[in-house]
Amino acid sequence: MTILNESTAGTAESGDARVTVRPNAGGGLTLELRGPSVIRYGDEIRAAALSILGALGVADAAITIEEKGALDATIRARLAAACGRAAAGSTAPAGPAAAAAQVPWEAMA
Amino acid sequence: MKLRRSMLFVPGNAPSMLRDAHIYGPDSVMFDLEDAVSPREKDAARHLVFRALRDYDYAGVERIVRINGLDTPHGLEDIAAVVAGGVDAVRLPKTDGPNDIIAVERAVEAAEKRFGRPAGSVKLIAAIESARGILSVREIATASARLVAIAIGAEDFVTDLHTTRSPDGVELLAARSMIVLAARAAGIMAIDTVFTGVDDPEGFLREVRLAKQLGFDGKSVIHPSQIALAHSVYAPTPEEIAKARRVIAAAADAEAKGSGVISVDGKMIDKPIVERAERVLALAGEVEA
């Protein structure tokens, strides 16, 4: 999956996370974490994020995760949604339907 | 006998609510990808619901997802995500005829194959929300072996009927009755519509009592406070439980003796009375629900 544009998913509400994904062509993965759980659970959040990026085949992206006490499952879901939106091609029809195309659900299990 | 006295609606785009949905003790949780989620958040809600199904332990509570219809750009991907996630049952909105069920069944079947789930393991629940759907309810109820229940969605239905909802529900009487008749004839469950007055427990109880008396097996609920209320209406009285125990004991006794005649309290007991007693004990939690 190639990240083509900047996209976000999620909210700033308690128990949620807002994830922003930006193109980073040839630059590999950069991951910035912000939020109350980062000091204690930063390694877990990082591992969860990397497992989703691996499942989606995202090799180059600059990612910011702002969490508000979100559980791993929520961070994984928000990151997957943000990547799907960011990878929706500029030639393909825009919107959630296009973002949904070809989601590798089995890989994210 | 699986109980479905309460099906708790949970918006699919609310992470905290998805996590805690089962702690209020509903018989089923129903994650909503349809009306509770705005069109631009459909993809994100689908990811949240997929992860909830995959990652959270709902302690045996049945997990249902209301998908978007296959006539929308979202329905097919909803099915893929929830089948991959391990959903127990898919609820179809706005079912107008048997073809709606057959189309969803095909998509579910393909998803089971794709994700390596046993064929036929994902159940279906159809919600009927139009006059056309009610008039096809008999065909809908028998359209798929996966179908375990039919539900009525009253808000869309009364709009379709050019009326509004009233406290006594007279406008829904024919539709509710047809749903129960079709469900019973097909050997599946009937689930009543939501009651939107969260601050009106009396009105809610009145509606559950009416639905139960008509034959409904349970109700869709939109607030945790409605769960215990719904269960209280379906809870048998101590007298009903005691009588049911005597009926079941007498039936077991007669079977052990090879006798076809069962008698309790000096009255002859036949098969429908034994079935009713089994249902009473299931509702009382005395036999496996």
- Domain boundary assignment for chain A: 7-94
The terminus-to-terminus CA distance of chain B in angstroms comes to: 5
Interchain contact, A100 vs B42, CB within 8 Å: yes
What is the pLDDT tens value at each position of chain A, 109 positions in all? 999 999 999 999 999 999 999 999 999 999 999 999 888 899 999 999 999 999 999 999 999 999 999 999 999 999 999 999 999 854 444 555 554 457 999 999 8
| C-alpha dihedral sign at A92, A95, A98, A104 | positive
Closest Cα of chain B to A62: distance in Å?
A: 19
pLDDT at A91: 42
Domain range A7-94, its CATH number among 3.30.230, 3.40.50, 1.10.1790, 3.20.20: 3.30.230
Give pLDDT < 70 ranges for chain B. 1, 288-289
pLDDT at B286: 76
Interchain contact, B81 vs A105, CB within 8 Å: yes
pLDDT at B269: 86
Q: CB of B51 within 8 Å of any CB in chain A?
A: yes
What's the predicted TM-score (pTM) here?
0.92
ipTM reported for the complex, 2 dp: 0.91
> Which part of chain B has CATH 3.20.20.60?
6-234
Residues on chain A touching B44 (C-beta within 8 angstroms): 9-10, 77-78, 81, 96
Structure confidence by residue, pLDDT tens digits, B201-223:
999 999 999 999 999 999 999 99
pLDDT at B267: 85
Domain at B6-234, CATH homologous superfamily: Phosphoenolpyruvate-binding domains (3.20.20.60)
